[in-house]
Chains A and B, each alone.
Chain A
Amino acid sequence: MKLLTHNMLTSKAIKQVNTGYPLLIEARDVKVSEVEFNPEFIAKIIPKVDWDCLRRAAEQLGHLDKIPASVPDTYENQQEFLKQAHHVLLEIELINGDLVCPESNRKFPVTDGIPN
Chain B
Amino acid sequence: MKLKELESHLQEVEGFEEPKILLEQYPTRPHIAACMIHTIASSFDDIENRSILDLGCGCGMLSIGCVMLGAGSVVGVDIDPDALDTCQQNLEDFEMDNVDLINASVEEAGLLFRNKFDVVVMNPPFGTKHNKGLDMKFLETALKLASRSVYSLHKTSTRDHVLKKAQSWGAKPQVVAELRYDLPATYKHHTKASVDINVDFIRFAVS
Contacts and interface: CB of A to CB of B under 8 A. Distances in A.
B103 A116 contact: yes
A13 B73 contact: no
B52 to A, nearest CB: 11
Interface string B45-80: 000010100000000000000000000110100000
Interface residues of A, number: 27
Given A4-B73, A10-B112, A40 B100 contact: no
B102 A13 contact: no
Nearest to B70: A38
B160 interface: no
A35 B73 CA distance: 11
B103 A8 contact: no
A45 B100 contact: no
B71 to A, nearest CB: 9
Interface in A1-25: 1-2, 4-5, 8-10, 12-13, 21
A41 B49 contact: yes
Nearest to B102: A115
A96 B81 CA distance: 15
A interface majority secondary structure = loop
B111 A10 contact: yes
Contact of B97 (A1, A33, A112): A33
A53 to B, nearest CB: 9
B44 interface: no
B191 interface: no
B97 A45 contact: no
A9 to B, nearest CB: 6
Contacts of A35: 97-98
B114 A41 contact: no
B103 A2 contact: no
A107 to B, nearest CB: 14
A12 B112 contact: yes
Given A44-B72, A90-B98, A8 B108 contact: no
Given A44-B49, A45-B51, A9 B113 contact: yes
Interface in B107-134: 107-108, 110-115
B72 A10 contact: no
Given A2-B100, A38-B49, A45-B51, A12 B115 contact: no
A46 to B, nearest CB: 12
Interface of A: 1-2, 4-5, 8-10, 12-13, 21, 33-36, 38, 40-41, 44-45, 48, 50, 90, 112-116
